[in-house]
Amino acid sequence: MSQIPPLVEVENLQVAFRNGPQVVKGVSFSVNRGECLALIGESGSGKSVTSRTLVGLTGHGSRLAADRLRFGGEDLLGASERRWRSIRGGRVGFVMQDALGSLDPLRTVGDEVAETLKLHTDLTKAQRTARVIELLASVGVPEPEVRARQLPSQLSGGLRQRALIASAIACAPQLLIADEPTTALDAAVQAQVLRLLENLRTPDNAMLVVSHDFAVVSRLADRIAVMRHGEIVEQGTAEQILHDPRHPYTQGLLAAAASLHSTALRRPTTAPPRMAIGRTGLTSHVIEAKGLSKAFKGPDARKRTAVSDVSFDLRFGETLGLVGESGSGKTTATRLVLGLETPDAGVVRLRGRAWGELSEANRRIERKRIQVVFQDPLGSFDPRYTVERVLGEALDVAGYRPGARRRARAVELLEMVRLDESFLTRRPIELSGGQRQRVAIARALAPQPEVLVCDEPVSALDVSVQVQILDLLGELKERLGLACIFISHDLGVVRRVSDRIAVMKGGQIVESGPTAEVFGAPRHEYTRELLAAIPQLKTRAEALHA
């Protein structure tokens, strides 16, 4: 039997951007029919660009060279735009992450899926409509007839991602490229979409998955190629890469991923208990929230309950992990705690005093005791400010006047977050994601808070950087005796930092308790579901056995 050539053959691929650095430097790989190859790497590794060369969409001003770039035996080097158009959507399906809206917000979901059919088939309009509904049903969209007529903004993130996949597989492509297909999704939804992608595999088609997340990749891939700085540092079977990585970079990435997904608990906080004098005498709670409820008016003027009867407390120096999927009320609960929203019912006490008892002037003083670190620090910095000005502004509030003393304190703050004086003159845009988050932490520490609220502080970061930031936060909390409310949808991350956990669903706390208890013996059905949805570092074979 003659050997069938691989579906995709790439040899010594080079991609550079005009006036820019080379982003892909001599990458070679192949994908066989019936196979799934994963390109894994951190941001800037060139993995997305590499995958896009297979649909000819490397973008404006990119230059491409390769010894070989073949798809289905056809040479793609120097293919005409017309050839590319017949390949895109027809023979190669492409799916991106939903984060910023991969579906046209002005067109119905059905129109978007139908677009592929319109371009590559001779189906009539009525046939296309029927096929769109079949496709949406096949990717697990409930009520496909209704959904097809809705706008992307009326669908949840998970449904949008499914619709996007439907538009990519509409013409049964031989190759499906999925670029971070689950990155913007909650854990449970992520698990569902991964299952869907698994089910889409057949012996005839191939899949190329691009991801930063070993847990996503391990579930799908037969083979894994690890990319770094535009090169493949190591490739092999999923089993070999996951269990016997040869390259130190792969080993490091896996160690970081494993430590986030590990079941090991952090050691409990050892800081001595502190007390404050509250209105009703001594209190060991820096924050007490009792029976909080809050509803908002929706776009259709109906009231929607965001948070209902939520109670929790936070002792000095303790970390409370707030877990839940998007829309579970975590953010509203936090805004109530910060005194940014007034609850419809219930009370929040800071050091024994309720927000409601304070005048706005006094609230402003009290607010300094609680500082926030957000997911996307870039959005919370003025892009024209230097780091010195960012910190200076925060120190201004803390009572430091401009001068040598303020500058010294700024340097001190930078050193706390393991940066140095040289960062003072840099601007947020020039910093990496991890450095930016460190500056955001330094800014939060400027007024010497007692409570740090961390709202998804590592969700936008690469895994190895996540570990570094979490370690830094742990160390700072210990050293400064900070209490912390840690909000995340990622249970691995929450488990790593929290003393106690509260699980939120539909605006309520469904379960709370010490971390070991909640993770070891979850009582509520929902907690068990969440735990089951954590992606595991297991190959396909291992997952099937388990």
| Closer Cβ to other proteins, 99 or 345, answer by number | 99
Which residue(s) pair with 13 in the sheet?
Answer: 27
Helices and strands, number each (H, E), in the chain:
20, 23
Order the strands of the 500-505 sheet from edge to edge.
370-373, 451-455, 483-488, 319-323, 500-505, 508-514
Residues 299-328 that bind other proteins (CB under 8 A): 299
What is the Cα Rg of the chain in Å? 26
Interaction mask 493-522, other proteins, x per CB under 8 A = ------------------------------
Least Å distance, CB 29 to other proteins, is 20
Alpha helices in 53-186 (DSSP H): 81-87, 109-120, 125-138, 144-148, 157-169
| Closer Cβ to other proteins, 104 or 134, answer by number | 104
Residues 378-417 that bind other proteins (CB under 8 A): none
Alpha helices in 356-447 (DSSP H): 360-367, 387-397, 404-416, 433-445
64 binds other proteins (CB under 8 A): no
Residues 130-159 that bind other proteins (CB under 8 A): 151, 153-154
| Closer Cβ to other proteins, 99 or 543, answer by number | 99
Interaction mask 242-281, other proteins, x per CB under 8 A = ----------------------------------------
* Number of amino acids touching other proteins (CB under 8 A): 34
Residues 82-101 that bind other proteins (CB under 8 A): 85-90, 93-94, 96, 99-101
| Closer Cβ to other proteins, 120 or 349, answer by number | 120
Can you read off the two tokens belonging to residue 403? 């001068």
120 binds other proteins (CB under 8 A): yes
Q: Which stretch binds other proteins (CB under 8 A): 78-86, 219-227, 249-257, 395-403?
A: 78-86
- Maximum C-alpha span of the chain: 86
Interaction mask 164-193, other proteins, x per CB under 8 A = x--xx-------------------------
| Closer Cβ to other proteins, 167 or 250, answer by number | 167
From residue 79, give the alpha-carbon distance in Å to each of 70, 87, 184, 337, 489: 10, 10, 33, 58, 44
Q: Which stretch binds other proteins (CB under 8 A): 27-35, 102-110, 193-201, 308-316?
A: 102-110
Which residue(s) pair with 54 in the sheet?
Answer: none
H-run or E-run covering 417: none
Buried b (16+ CB within 10 A) or exposed e, 174-195: bbbbbbbbbbbbbbbbbbbbbe
| Closer Cβ to other proteins, 206 or 292, answer by number | 206
57 binds other proteins (CB under 8 A): yes
Angle (CA) 20-21-23 rounded to 5° is 120
Q: Which stretch binds other proteins (CB under 8 A): 53-61, 253-261, 342-350, 530-538?
A: 53-61
| Closer Cβ to other proteins, 92 or 289, answer by number | 92
60 binds other proteins (CB under 8 A): yes
| Closer Cβ to other proteins, 163 or 238, answer by number | 163
Least Å distance, CB 100 to other proteins, is 5
Q: Tell me the C-alpha distance between 92 and 292, whole Å.
A: 51
Choosing from 116, 235, 328, 435, the residue that interacts with other proteins (CB under 8 A) is: 116
CA atoms 241, 246, 247, 249: torsion sign: positive
Tell me the residue type at 543: A
48 binds other proteins (CB under 8 A): no
Read off the DSSP letter of residue 430: G
Choosing from 17, 64, 72, 119, the residue that interacts with other proteins (CB under 8 A) is: 119
| Closer Cβ to other proteins, 26 or 90, answer by number | 90
384 CB-near residues (< 8 Å, 6+ apart): 427
Q: Which stretch binds other proteins (CB under 8 A): 34-42, 79-87, 239-247, 415-423?
A: 79-87
CA atoms 137, 142, 144, 148: torsion sign: negative
| Closer Cβ to other proteins, 196 or 473, answer by number | 196
437 burial (CB, 10 Å; 0-12 / 13-18 / 19+) is: buried
Count of C-beta atoms within a 10 Å radius of residue 529: 14
H-run or E-run covering 239: helix 238-243
| Closer Cβ to other proteins, 101 or 520, answer by number | 101
Q: Which residues bind other proteins (CB under 8 A)?
A: 55, 57, 60, 81, 85-90, 93-94, 96, 99-107, 112, 115-116, 119-120, 151, 153-154, 164, 167-168, 299
